[in-house]
Amino acid sequence: MKNIITNIKKSYIIGVIILLSVIGGFFTAYGYGHDPKEEYQKGLSYSKNKNYQKALSLFREAAKQGYAPAEAHLGVMYLEGLGILKNYDEALYWLTKAAKQGNILAEDSLGLIYLGGLGVPQDYNKALYWYKKSAEQGDMLGEDVLGSMYLEGLGVLKNYDEALYWLKKAAKQGYAPAEAHLGVMYLEGLGVLKNYDEALYWLTKAEKQGNILAEDNLGLIYLGGLGVPQDYNKALYWYKKTAEQGDMLGEYALGLMYLYGKGVPKNYEEALYWIKKSAEQGFKPAENLLKSLGSTP
């Protein structure tokens, strides 16, 4: 009797093993059970080559298996409309799933959604929550935006000490927007004593990465002789750089320099050209100046 029972057990175990092998082969053959990390890495490769539709398919397969990086990238593709129509509901769904697993890209992207009111009511408190989560993990983008929110008082009372703390953390990682924001704090004396040397140091670091805010403020430094000899030529150089990138402040400042002949011969047509470009973007000082000059955008 014992032998019969033993043989039955052996047969059962062998049967289960065969069944599992067959099932495993079926799922592999039909695309199930693939390593989500592998699918995700392939998706990244396609995404870098701007083959967004293939990337989307691979991210989706990995995301369905709960792989957070894939969920986050899938959410970003829906958010930005890469390879598919923008869909804020889908973006929110996948980014929330990834953020619950502590994914930094998802946390930053949720911060952006609530900060900009993308498919949801604008909510600075929720934006602050998500950026704080990523910042506390050492993410330089999160640190910069969190510092900027404390600087501007968005979703929180203005707090220059907190702003300085977070912006310094991001700037020390070489993040250009934070370097520029930190330079502005030293330039304007926001929560710190004005320090033109520190301002020039951080703004120059940011400018080397092509940061427009830094370039505009370097223009201001040389235009006003703030901690450096006044130099209209250098001011013109920086404002022209930003103006040619479509920056409305740079366009306005460049127009003024042509209007008043600072660092360049007076040229009313050039002045009007740049001031109009700035006004067309809704820059109020440019709009008001055009009116006083008897012109319209």
Every domain range in the chain assigned CATH 1.25.40.10: 36-133, 138-230, 232-297
| Cα distance between residue 56 and residue 77, in whole Å | 7
CATH no. for 232-297: 1.25.40.10
Cβ atoms of residues 92 and 114 within 8 Å: no
Least Cα distance to 62 among 38, 82, 80 occurs for 38
Confirm or reject CATH 3.40.50.1370 for domain 138-230, answering yes or no: no
pTM of the model: 0.84
User: What class has domain 36-133?
Assistant: mainly alpha
Write the CB contacts of 180 (distance below 8 Å, at least 6 apart in sequence). 202, 203, 206, 211, 213, 214, 217
* C-alpha 221: how far from chain center: 27
Output the pLDDT for position 23.
Answer: 33
How much is the pLDDT for 13?
Answer: 38
CA distance 188 to 196: 9
- Spatial separation of the C-alpha atoms in residues 88 and 43, rounded to whole Å: 21
CA 131 to chain centre: 11
pLDDT tens sequence for the chain (297 residues): 444 334 433 444 334 333 333 334 333 333 445 799 999 999 999 999 999 999 999 999 999 999 999 999 999 999 999 999 999 999 999 999 999 999 999 999 999 999 999 999 999 999 999 999 999 999 999 999 999 999 999 999 999 999 999 999 999 999 999 999 999 999 999 999 999 999 999 999 999 999 999 999 999 999 999 999 999 999 999 999 999 999 999 999 999 999 999 999 999 999 999 999 999 999 999 999 999 988 776
